[in-house]
Structure 1
């Protein structure tokens, strides 16, 4: 897969992958136009969205009602080095039977983004 980021000026960028685009920007108080999410917000969206996908797929296969499924994600920024130091992800699934809670937790913890964060990939930055 390839993600391409194009600089649009100011603090704004366009991310393109396959046939989709999203706008990346900064809030007004950080010099941007607030026309899109910031990179940390997109990272949290990736984690929460991946968990939501895995949970919904499991529930559908297991015959569990997904009405009201929602996933929230909070994060804390830490210093030295500046980074996201923790995520807290909450899965809300009103119709989840108590005897399936552990299975859903297991599925949520196995999503691709969660696994990637728990086992960081090698990263190479090449400046041309």
Structure 2
């Protein structure tokens, strides 16, 4: 998988480079300029986009209408430290009716979304610090540390 790179722009604004795409994230409440969604909004949006992908393919594969599909999402943050998402709701919206059994099948069809699976079983996340050779401090190198 290609590397995704996040580059500081100014204050609390960052550019995200993904293949040939550039996304912008910003923290307007922390002094940013609202030049893009916050990282948490992007997190929730990526989950909704993944669910939409699986939902549309299920509908299409079962010869059901799929044009006009939308997925809405809301998230809440837990109080305290560390700040983190406490709940996420997803609403698969269709501009037509489905039988209850088809609705149940559609909800089951979104389960393979890898973002949902990653939320169910948290991945191991590691972080490292890499300094350019001219800026290296006289400290020993640090090894990757788990963020969990």
> Which band: TM-score by shorter chain?
over 0.9
TM-score of the pair, normalised by structure 1? 0.93
Q: What is the Cα deviation at residue 97 of structure 1? A: 2.3
**RMSD of equivalent CA atoms:** 1.2
1:63 aligns with 2:63: yes
> Is the Cα contact below 8 Å between 1:3 and 1:16 reproduced in 2?
yes
Q: What is the Cα deviation at residue 96 of structure 1? A: 4.6
Corresponding residue number in structure 2 for 1:23: 24
- In the TM superposition, structure 1's runs of 4+ consecutive aligned residues that sit over 6 Å from their partners are none
Corresponding residue number in structure 2 for 1:95: 96
More helix by share: 1
Which of the pair has more CA radius of gyration? Answer: 2
Count of residue correspondences: 127
> Structure 1 73/50 Cα, relative in aligned 2: closer, same or farther at 3 Å?
same
Comparing both chains, which one has the higher relative contact order based on Cα–Cα distances under 8 Å and sequence gaps of 6 or more?
1
Unaligned runs of 5+ in 2: 131-148
TM-score of the pair, normalised by structure 2? 0.81
Q: What is the Cα deviation at residue 102 of structure 1? A: 1.1
Corresponding residue number in structure 2 for 1:53: 53
1:13 aligns with 2:14: yes
Measure the CA separation in 1 of the matches of 2:96 and 2:53. 17
Q: What is the Cα deviation at residue 71 of structure 1? A: 0.6
Measure the CA separation in 2 of the matches of 1:66 and 1:75. 25
Unaligned runs of 5+ in 1: none
